[in-house]
Amino acid sequence: MGRMRRKARSNMTSSQWTANDRSDLVAFLVAYREAAVGRYQLTKPEQFVIGGINFPILSHRSIRQRFLAMPIQLTAKQRKVVHECCVETFLFHGTIDREDGQRQVLISIYADGLPKTEGRRPGALYMYRPWFCRERESTEAQETAIETIHSLIDQPSRCIRDTDSLDLEQLQTMVVPGPLHDNLLLVNSLASIRQMQREWKEHPPTIIAFDLEAYNESKYCQLTCLLQLAVPSHPHQRHYILDPLVSDVWDEIGPTLAPYFADPSIVKIGHAIGGLDVPCLYRDFGIVVVNAFDTYEAATQLKLPLKGLAAVCDHYQLLQNGDYYTSLKEQYQSCDWRVRPLTEPMLQYGRFDIHYLMPLRELMIRDLTRDAWASGRQQSQLVAEALQETLQQFAREEDEGDFLTSARTSLSSYATGRNNDGEDTVGYQSALSRQSSLSEYDTPAEEGSILSNYTRKSECVANVVSREHLNASELRMQIDLGRTLAMSQEHCRKLWKGRSEPRMGVLDLLVQRLRRHQIPWTSSQSELYIHLADWRDAIAAALETLPQFIAPLEFLAAVAYQRPCTEVGLRRISTSLPHAIEENSEIREQLLDIVRESACTKESTESFRKEYYFYKVNRFRRLMDDGIIMQWKWSIAVAVVLAGAALVVSGRKRSR
């Protein structure tokens, strides 16, 4: 074996390894494998430093252990590279969760060398049948909902309902308690979802705040794992946490929620709904979101420096326990939501994500209509000045009767919003002022005089004009609000399209890595990979699920590379097989039969012999490690000694 590179190419540890670092890692793994099976003799302990990280020292003692533990400093991306290189070098590999909360990669040459990990195992994805895979065709209600979305994009003012209004004084005194003060219904059974159906039928929601947590391996492999809803309720809100991974709940979510989400008279509030929320709801349950308000788009329109939900809530000073919410977000935002059972902190994190959406909508609409509030204050001031001028003119008039008529006409025109020519002056009765008051302009008048009576009337009119309130018709005229609503409806169009995952991209990456390490790749292996991908698609169609839920393309490419003919060989690619292959022996045997019966029959036979040799060597080494063979050697040696002694004694007796 030639001399290998062992020096670090960088003194600094980087989460992204270079191509040279990957080559050094492959050299380390090959050295461990060859030394462990006895093909390479270690003359002295050897130390590898890769990307600034010290890897385990290869010595006679370390290579005789059942497994070799990788450094705990490795990041998630670096651990993934280790797994990929283990596939290239035919090593068993796995990841364990340590007691200190860190994850660590273990490698071994033995089929049973890795310890069995216990704990919460994610659910099997292939058991869930997304609506898109079952129906494949939109219903009339869904087509109508999609057409409604297009019309709302063209006319975003229609998103404002006649009952919508904004009261600035009420917003200034609004107090939002923490999410744990609201009522919660955990929907994880058929009985609980029936209770939710009854509650919504008795008290139909007018606003729905929603969010979901999903398993997001890639844009081709996603699954809704938790759905959070909040609706108005006395005194605050009513929260619903739906667990779709319960089979009874999964089948009922679509028929229960689809009519409410498709109803344009019900406002749906979410944050960055175009990323996962809208596509997942449509793919898994056939739900189309109509008339949405995206708080992320509102933050963009308002040019807020940070647009994450926690940052937006902090900007509006809604968070009472911001540090706790931040800690929950750091822990659960990127966790594997397939894991069950759900813990209390996981439920609290889900409630945080929906609790502040309803007050956020009102506060952000207030800021999106700030031009209207400013113009309202100016208009109220103009009205007050005009009324004061009228009253001062009245004081100079000698003919009281004539002026009373003109004053009443003037007051009437301002109150009704139309002038004498019939032109609309609704801006003068806008309820957007916080400062205007006739008291600043009134001149002193004696109590009971005609001037004092009209002063009081002018104050009443000014109060009507300057009350801090926007009605639906005024909200529809706001440009920034209209832009936010239009973009929110655009996100509602981002439905799941069911695009197929590019097959050759995964294969090209594997072939490039192999060629970089001078490992050959044949055309027969490419043909086997295509055959396996077609087989996977056929199994997914039969089970009405996504192909990625059967097996990822990376796994199939590794199978085409190693060509395992037994289950032991499959576990060398991945200790934890994809659930569909792990739990279904028929699917597993079909996969192995395809490998055995592939076009590369001769190569498959050689691969089987190589695999059997490794398994035989592994078994022998394990017996050595366990001391069984050593005990046999001592037993045989003792027996030989005893037999020799017996022969000597018997020979002496004969000689006598």
Residue 246 reports pLDDT greater than 60? yes
Any idea which of 12-26, 148-162, 411-425 has the lowest mean pLDDT?
Answer: 411-425
- What would the two tokens of residue 582 be? 């792990």
Residue 627 reports pLDDT greater than 80? no
Q: Residues 94, 602: contact at Cβ < 8 Å?
A: no
Helix (H) / strand (E) element for 209: namely: strand 207-218
Residue 290 reports pLDDT greater than 90? yes
131-372 — its CATH code? 3.30.420.10
Contacts of 256 (CB under 8 A, 6+ apart): 193, 196, 197
Label residue 236 by pLDDT band (50, 70, 90): confident
**pLDDT more than 70, % of the chain:** 75
Question: Could you tell me the residue ranges of all domains in the chain?
Answer: 19-108, 131-372, 504-611
In this predicted model, what pLDDT tens digit does every residue of 431-465 receive, in sequence order?
333 333 333 334 444 444 444 444 444 444 344 33
Label residue 39 by pLDDT band (50, 70, 90): confident
Helices assigned H by DSSP within 155-276:
168-172, 190-202, 247-261
Label residue 326 by pLDDT band (50, 70, 90): confident
**pLDDT more than 90, % of the chain:** 57
Q: Phi and psi for 114 in degrees, rounded to 5?
A: -85, 140
Residue 231 reports pLDDT greater than 70? yes
The topology (CATH level 3) of 19-108 is Ribosomal Protein S8; Chain: A, domain 1 (3.30.1370)
The topology (CATH level 3) of 504-611 is DNA polymerase; domain 1 (1.10.150)
For residue 46, which of 31, 56, 55, 57 has the smallest C-alpha distance? 57
Q: What pairing do the DSSP bridges indicate for beta strands 267-270 and 292-294?
A: parallel
Any idea which of 73-82, 104-113, 588-597, 603-612 has the lowest mean pLDDT?
Answer: 603-612
Contacts of 609 (CB under 8 A, 6+ apart): none
Residue 640 reports pLDDT greater than 90? no
Residue 506 reports pLDDT greater than 90? yes
Q: How large is the average pLDDT for residues 66-85?
A: 95
Rounded to the nearest integer, the mean pLDDT of the chain is 81
Q: What is the pLDDT of residue 374?
A: 63
What's the residue count for the chain?
656
Question: How many CB atoms sit inside 10 A of residue 505's CB?
Answer: 9
- The pTM for the full model equals 0.77
